[in-house]
Amino acid sequence: MATVHSATYELLRNQGITKVFGNPGSNELPFLKGFPEDFQYILGLHEGVVMGIADGYALAGSRPAFVNLHAAAGTGNAMGALTNSWYSHSPLVVTAGQQARSLVGVEAMLSNVDATQLPRPLVKWSYEPTWPGDVPRALSQAIHMATQPAPGPVYVSIPHDDWEREIDDDALLLADRQVATAGRPSTAQLSNLADRLNNASNPVLVLGPDVDAYQANAMAVELAEKLAAPVWVAPSAPRCPFPTRHRCFRGVLPAAVAGITARLEGHDLIVVIGAPVFRYHQHAPGNYLPKGAKLIHLTCDLQEASRAPMGDALIGDISEMLNLLLLNIQQTDRAMPEPLPLPIPHADSQEGPLAPEVVFDELNALAPEDAIYVKESTSTVTAFWQRVEMRHQGSYYFPAAGGLGFGLPAAVGAQLAQPDRQVIGIIGDGSANYSITALWTAVQYQIPVIFIILKNGTYGALRWFSRILDAEDSPGLDVPGLDFCAIAKGYGVDAVTVNTREEFRTEFNKALKAQGPVLLEVPTTTIEP
């Protein structure tokens, strides 16, 4: 007869989920006991790092990641990272060990009291099975809910004395289940959408992360070329949905109401695809839309569609909607947009630290064409998008909720998911300290990530905001006295400080040939986001 333990591993195996990302505690040991040889356990030294590694793996691999946390404390440690996973539509199956069923009511040590409420509202679904036999079914439901539109994290709390319980062999039927979404626009919806685009005099496209997640980048290019439309990337971009040297590309929209309206001035139809409308940040009030403009929103997410303050929305599979739309879009006779001028190479500074622009120019020249950039240097976002060309699907990841600590572990997870592409983590010195223990995991599993720490001794983005908010006298804006090479070497990472352009070229080329992780600490000047 099957047990909860054996049925669960068979379910995971048949769903192609054979990696477990975790940091175990006593409640989790009965699940990990007899760990199958065809599975791999990826250990992180802090639950926030575990969540970040799993997030990077799920995003870059376009597959669900299975996370195992320790009861309430471990879940709490991971909650900050979970905010990014929620807003990036990461398909994560998050599990947590619960105290034995008979001890939960008396709140024995390590009881996860009211476990299902703890991770909300940052999960699609949260559940604790009411009896042991329901554990495999609950995990099956979790996998399917995490992966169906809009993808996102789910949470299951499991009492530790459930795993050895015997259950009916019918539980094994769960392993072969498949759940798929078959929705597509109706003929009337598609006709209306195509007519509005074909009849627009000056349309503009705003593309978001779900274009990249649905691997619809090439279709977005074809749509832009048929419409001869300029293309903006939605604000606070966590992914790159469009080639950044294409002549239609215009850059990333600012995360402010007035700023977006100013950039889209003169367009009569704004088509937002695969992004919220909009993710604002800076408080700069204004009109939501330019005068005379209408907005259409194509999204996979009901919540994004429902909360938007303007425009008409159509919810569905991003790839399928674009594919069908392209069949109904006429080739315009409008002239194509003029390409943006290429950035002028940044000059070397005569003395002192390197400018971030110099680092990005060198990366653009030296990195493989299909490199994956995991970026968490928030003060250098604009310079990076201007100077680093990205052509391929899945080339860029950034914390979707702005929660620091994403970059280092997500780079590790992305490299695990894409071993044939070089992953480059570009991390600010302030950000790096949130999840520095990810370096240990990279070493232990020989994951050949290149970490570039841009070290300016301050929270650069916060410095910029302090000027906007007239709060430059606030404490805690600087982080002096950090030696990342010493820290990295303590974890076993090869690390070196580079101070000149030539040193960066030499050490980066060496890092490209390394068999394990490498960290380059680059003292830099401070620039504005």
402 is catalytic: yes
89 is catalytic: no
DSSP single-letter state for residue 268: S
Token pair of 514, please? 């390394």
CA 504/CA 358 separation, integer angstroms: 10
107 is catalytic: no
| 3 beta partners | 166
37 is catalytic: no
Token pair of 398, please? 């950034």
Return the biggest CA–CA distance within the chain.
74
What is the β-pairing status of strands 450-455 and 518-523?
parallel
**Identity of residue 470:** D
In 3D space, the residue among 219, 217, 215 whose CA is nearest the CA of residue 62 turns out to be 215
DSSP single-letter state for residue 515: S
Q: Are 64 and 101 in contact (CB under 8 A)?
A: no
Q: Are 229 and 248 in contact (CB under 8 A)?
A: yes
Q: Which secondary-structure segment (H or E) carries 95? A: strand 92-98
Which residue among the candidates 26, 102, 191, 306 is catalytic per the annotation? 26
Which residue among the candidates 5, 6, 10, 25 is catalytic per the annotation? 25
Residue 47 to residues 42, 393, 514, Cα–Cα distance (Å): 12, 29, 28
Sheet holding 372-376, edge to edge: 396-397, 372-376, 423-428, 450-455, 518-523, 494-497
In 3D space, the residue among 226, 233, 242, 422 whose CA is nearest the CA of residue 333 turns out to be 226
Which residue among the candidates 5, 6, 48, 70 is catalytic per the annotation? 70
φ, ψ at 294 (rounded to 5°): -115, 160
Look up tokens 């960066």; give the residue: 504
Task: Work out the number of other CB atoms within 10 angstroms of the CB of residue 403.
Answer: 20
SS3 content of the chain, % helix, strand, coil (to 5): 40, 15, 45
Q: Are 228 and 252 in contact (CB under 8 A)?
A: no
Which residue among the candidates 47, 128, 362, 376 is catalytic per the annotation? 47
φ, ψ at 397 (rounded to 5°): -140, 140
CA 389/CA 342 separation, integer angstroms: 10
What number of residues does the chain have?
A: 529
In 3D space, the residue among 244, 321, 232, 317 whose CA is nearest the CA of residue 277 turns out to be 232
Q: At what angle do helices 318-326 and 217-227 cross, to 10 degrees?
A: 30
Q: Are 525 and 463 in contact (CB under 8 A)?
A: no
346 is catalytic: no
Q: Which secondary-structure segment (H or E) carries 360? A: helix 356-366
| 249 beta partners | 231
At 88, is the secondary structure helix, strand, or coil?
Answer: coil
Which residue among the candidates 281, 319, 349, 392 is catalytic per the annotation? 281
Q: Are 29 and 160 in contact (CB under 8 A)?
A: yes
Which residue among the candidates 52, 56, 316, 402 is catalytic per the annotation? 402
Which residue among the candidates 10, 28, 128, 304 is catalytic per the annotation? 28
286 is catalytic: no
In 3D space, the residue among 85, 100, 98 whose CA is nearest the CA of residue 128 turns out to be 98
281 is catalytic: yes
* Residues labelled as active-site residues: 25-26, 28, 47, 70, 281, 402
